[in-house]
Amino acid sequence: MFHNWFDRWDEKRARRGEDAKKVTAVTLDAELAFPSAVNICNIDEFCKLGEQAVATPSFFRAPLSNDTEFERAGDFLKFPSDISTDVAENNVVWSKITDSGSRDKALVIFHHWNARSRNRQIANYFSKRGITVVEIAMPYHFERSRPGSDYADYMLSANLGRTIQSLRQAVWDGQKLIRWLKSEGYREISVLGMSLGSWVAGLVAAHDTNVRKASLFLTGGSLAEMVWTGRATRAIRESFESTIDLSHLRRAWAPLDLGNYVYSLARPDLDIQIVLAKRDKVILTELSFSLLESLNNAGAKLDVLQLNCGHYSLAIPPYIIFAGINLQRFLSQSGKSDLRT
């Protein structure tokens, strides 16, 4: 009875904003994902570029930047993104800083898809415990929203190229912010990603050795499979079904599959925490377990917490309390391989 109530609550929450998500035409726009691409006219050509990007370490490596690009105004920090899009608002990155008063530890938070507000309670909680929290706005969210849009449709959609561009932009923005934090004297940098934000946080951790701890809430390996099977992305799957199949989507979005970077995530100086919901209908548990198996096989240092809740009910008591306590423990000490249920 208890869990049935949470299941119904999750389904009700999943319906919120669903009417705004429409079936759209599948678009390649390969030049957005791969700037040197020209005359890419079919999905097989796009897939080859996606697979090549996985084998290209520099694809997710953000260019070096000038510290003078950063502007601090009170609790906010803004700087230009190194990837320029046709939405001017999206080209300026905004971050909310909740200062701990210490330059010892900083936690960069990557929020979930279509987040409407930043995580004030989390920021206040950890800042009082000596960890400065920086909540970065991902592409097409918060101050970076596309004018007239009802949700962040440009970040995740049936436009194959723009989706890769958006995730790559988020990863570059995160690395640029982390370099600024290091220049400000922060000793230990951690990242926390939630749902879609966990893909960004995972990609950042895989490509930026400044990251010492990565906490991934509600994550999986293959973004393509998440979109194909998940409750929140039905409209995107319907867009794809008449044009491309899952096998092509996996290849096209290969750069966005965390499973392709498990050996980078398994480096000795990186600790990883994964929090998953066993009743999740947005990111199915088999996707999370597949990533866990790959990470274990690669020798990653893992701390895993399984909670008997759904994707959205993780955000309410008692589950958010369990997750918060586990996150605090993880950030305060070196993690060892552990499995908690």
pLDDT tens profile 236-265: 999 999 999 999 999 999 999 999 999 999
Domain assignment of residue 183, yes or no: yes
b/e map of 224-240 (b: 16 or more CB within 10 Å)? bbbbbbbbbbbbbbebb
Give 267's contacts (C-beta < 8 A, 6+ positions apart): 209
* Phi, psi for residue 154 in degrees, rounded to 5: -80, -15
Structure tokens, 205: 């951790």
Count H helices and E strands in the chain, helices first: 12, 10
Domain assignment of residue 67, yes or no: no
Domain assignment of residue 109, yes or no: yes
Strand ranges for 174-312 from DSSP E? 188-194, 211-217, 271-277, 301-307
Among 32, 65, 37, CA closest to 49: 37
- Residue stretches of the chain with pLDDT short of 70: 1-6, 9, 334-341
Q: Which helix (H) or strand (E) holds 120?
A: helix 120-127
Domain assignment of residue 172, yes or no: yes
The whole-model pTM stands at: 0.95
Among left, alpha and beta (phi > 0; psi -120 to 50; other), residue 34 is beta
Distance CA 237, CA 232 (A): 10
Domain assignment of residue 187, yes or no: yes
- Which pLDDT score is estimated for 10? 78
Distance CA 166, CA 317 (A): 32
Domain of 8, CATH number, reads: 3.40.50.1820
Total structural domains in the chain? Answer: 1
User: Which CA distances in Å does 25 have to 18, 156, 244, 250?
Assistant: 18, 13, 11, 18
Domain assignment of residue 66, yes or no: no
Q: Which domain holds residue 37?
A: 2-60+73-340
The amino acid sitting at 20 is A
Domain assignment of residue 286, yes or no: yes
Domain assignment of residue 105, yes or no: yes
- Which pLDDT score is estimated for 18? 78
* Phi, psi for residue 42 in degrees, rounded to 5: -145, 165
Distance CA 295, CA 272 (A): 10
User: Which CA distances in Å does 134 have to 71, 101, 111, 184, 309?
Assistant: 14, 13, 11, 13, 27
Structure tokens, 227: 């979109």
* DSSP three-state, residue 110: strand
